[in-house]
Amino acid sequence: MSRRRQEEFYCAPSGGGCGKYFITYLRDNMSGRYTIECPNPKCHHQHFRNIESGLVTDSRHDDRKGSCEIILGLEATLRDIPWHDDPEFKRQQLKAYDGGVKS
């Protein structure tokens, strides 16, 4: 059984995006080329990423031909500030790793 974890994306205006942050979920059994789509109804900018074992790598792809899976971001998570700066997120991250805070 694969686990899923949150991944935050920034839809940068310099790349044609809306300037918002959003979250999507990735599973640890995901590997390959994926397109992550911004959930902002006024944006829908696409982020082309290579994912290995559920982690976003530094490399990107530019495959607009539809041969890779599209993952939609969650509209309810759209925000102006990064989620990773939120204290609740930091608590969740600590719990996710051995030795972290348990409550």
| Domain ranges within the chain, ordered by starting residue | 4-96
The pLDDT value given to residue 99: 56
Token output for 20 = 């918002």
Distance CA 71, CA 25 (A): 9
- What is the signed CA dihedral for 82, 94, 26, 61, rounded to 10 degrees? 60
Structure confidence at residue 42 as a pLDDT band (50, 70, 90): very high
Structure confidence at residue 86 as a pLDDT band (50, 70, 90): confident
The pLDDT value given to residue 73: 93
| CB-CB contact of 9 with 73 (8 Å) | yes
